[in-house]
Amino acid sequence: MLDIRFVRENPELVKENIRKKFQDAKLPLVDEVIALDAENRDTMTEANALRAERNKLSKQIGGLMAQGKKEEAEQVKAQVSAQADRLKELEAKEGELEEKIRNIMMVIPNMIDPSVPIGPDDSHNVEAARFGEAVVPDFEIPYHTEIMESFGGIDLDSARRVAGNGFYYLLGDIARLHEGVLAYARDFMIDKGFTYVIPPFMMHGSVVQGVMSFPEMDAMMYKIEGEDLYLIGTSEHTMIGRFVDQLIPENQLPQTLTSYSPCFRKEKGAHGLEERGVYRIHQFEKQEMIVLCKPEESMDWYEKMWRYSVELFRSLDIPVRQLECCSGDLADLKVKSCDIEAWSPRQKKYFEVCSCSNLGEAQSRRLKIRVKGEDGKNYLPHTLNNTCVAPPRMLIAFLENNLQADGSVKIPEVLRPYMGGKDRIVPTNKK
C-alpha cells in the first residue's frame, strides 16, 4: 500500500505505474482517492478548529462562573453544545472518509522497481540466468507419480476417498525423502545465519489483509467457518504478521528468519496434465525465508535470497534458471519478483519451484510495523520473502534429475545424512 502523501504529490507517476501493470481500470481510483483525501483534510481542519474553540470557550465558562456571570456562562455553554453536535458530525465523516480512502489505497498497486520488465502476463517474464547443465538422459523419464509409485511411495486414490482431489499420502522412502529435503533446507538456511521459526498455521483476517492483495486472498485462502481465522497459504503471512503494530529498534535489523509450515491453498481453476499428481495441491509443506530490513538494504537482500535458492538446488544436482517476473505478473504489493525454475528432463523445460519477492514498505504500512531509527525518527522497514523448498512439488524436480536408468534415484551427498546414509533409493514396485 502506498503512502497517501506520495499519491497526492505524484498522481501521474502512480497512474503510469498502473498502466505498466496493465490495470487501466484502476486509473480513476487515483483521482478519486485524491479528492477524498482533500475532503478528509478539510474535514480534519474544521474539526481541529472546533476542538480549539471548544477548549477556549470552556475556559471562558469557568471564568464567567467564577465571576458569578451565570447567564453569560449559560450562553457560552449553549454555543459549546451547538459546536459539539457539529464536531460529532465531522468526526463521523472523518471515519467514513478514512475507511473509503483505505479501501481504495488497498487496491492501488505498489510502485514497481525500474528494473522490472514490462509485460501484461507471465508469458513476458524474462530469463536472466541459468545454473547447471539442463540434461535430457538417453532413457525415458516417467511421470512423477509413476516414479513415486515404483517405490510404493504415493497413494492418491486413498487420499481422494479421504479428502478429495488435491491431496496425497506419501509413504516409505518417498515420505522420508520429502522430510529429508525440508530438514536439509532448514539447516542450509540456519547455516546462512537465519533464525529457525515454527509460526502459527492460522491467522486473523486483519493480518491476511495486511500481507496480501485481495485477488490473492480470494484465490488462495481457506476460512475457518464461524471464526475470524484463515489457514495460511504460506508461512510468510504469519511470519510478517508477527511484527504487526510493533516498533522495532533499528539495532535489531535485519531480521533474517527461516520458517517451516504446512500450507493450504484453494488452487482455483482447471489444470493440465503437467499440473496433476502432486504439482498443484491443496496441502503441502514448505521451508520459507523472510527478511525485514532497512529500505536501503532491501535490494541487496533480494539478490542474496534468490541466490540462496540457486545454491540449494544446485547442491541437490538440480539445474535451475532465474526468471524475472514482468510488471503484469507481479502481485499488487510487490516491488520486484523473480522465480527460480527447476529443469524437468521429462518435459524438457523449466518449471517454478521458488518465488523471491521484495515488497518494499507495503506490508509494513498495512500492518503498522515501524522501526525506531538511531536518530529517534520512525520509519517503515522493507519486507522480503522467498521459497526455500516446497515439497512435494520440489520432489518432482529432484526425482526427475536424480533418476537413474535402472529406476533407482541417486541421493546427493548433502542429503545423505537425512536419508540414513543412503546414496540411492531402490524401487520396490519396478515393472
- Please determine, for residue 390, whether its predicted confidence score (pLDDT) is greater than 90: yes
Question: Which of 89-98, 264-273, 304-313, 386-395 bottoms out in mean pLDDT, i.e. has the lowest?
Answer: 264-273
Residue 88 has pLDDT above 80, yes or no: yes
Residue 430 in this model has a pLDDT that exceeds 50: yes
- Residue 70: predicted pLDDT: 67
Share of the chain above pLDDT 70, in %: 91
Bridge partners of 256, per DSSP, are 291
On average, the pLDDT of the chain sits at 91
Q: Say what the pLDDT of residue 1 is.
A: 84
Within 271-377, strands assigned E span 283-293, 320-324, 336-344, 349-358, 370-372
- Give the pLDDT of residue 268: 59
Least confident range of 37-51, 191-205, 327-341, 351-365? 37-51
- The Cβ of residue 50 has, within 10 Å, a number of other Cβ atoms equal to 17
| Contact of 290 with 82, CB cutoff 8 Å | no
Tell the CATH topology of 4-105. Answer: Helix Hairpins (1.10.287)
H or E stretch covering 42: helix 27-66
pLDDT class for 62, splitting at 50, 70, 90?
low
What 3-state DSSP class applies to 147? helix
- pLDDT value for 105: 95
pLDDT at 85 over 60: yes
Res. 272: pLDDT tops 60: no
What's the predicted TM-score (pTM) here? 0.89
Give which of 219, 351, 343 is closest to 272, Cα–Cα: 351
Burial of 317 (0-12, 13-18, 19+ CB in 10 A): middle
Which CATH fold would you assign to the domain 122-425?
Answer: BirA Bifunctional Protein; domain 2 (3.30.930)
Nearest to 138 by CA among 319, 403, 341, 395: 403
Query: Looking at residue 69, what DSSP letter applies?
Result: -
- Provide mean pLDDT across the span 329-336: 95
Tens digit of each residue's pLDDT (9 = 90 or more) over 196-206: 999 999 999 99
Q: What is the pLDDT of residues 275-312, one digit of tens each?
A: 567 878 889 999 999 999 999 999 999 999 999 999 99
Dist CA 390 CA 355 (whole Å):
10
Residue 270: pLDDT band with limits 50, 70, 90: very low
Q: At what angle do helices 27-66 and 70-105 cross, to 10 degrees?
A: 160
Give the pLDDT band of residue 406 (cuts 50, 70, 90). very high
Peptide bond into 200 cis (omega under 30): no
- CA gap 297, 354 in Å, rounded: 22
Given a cut of 80, whether residue 173 has pLDDT beyond it is: yes
Task: Supply the pLDDT for residue 86.
Answer: 81
Can you give the pLDDT at residue 64?
64
pLDDT at res. 266: 87
Domain boundary assignment for the chain: 4-105, 122-425
Tell which wins on pLDDT, 202 or 272: 202
Contacts of 204 (CB under 8 A, 6+ apart): 228, 229, 230
Q: How confident is the model at residue 273 (pLDDT cuts 50, 70, 90)?
A: very low
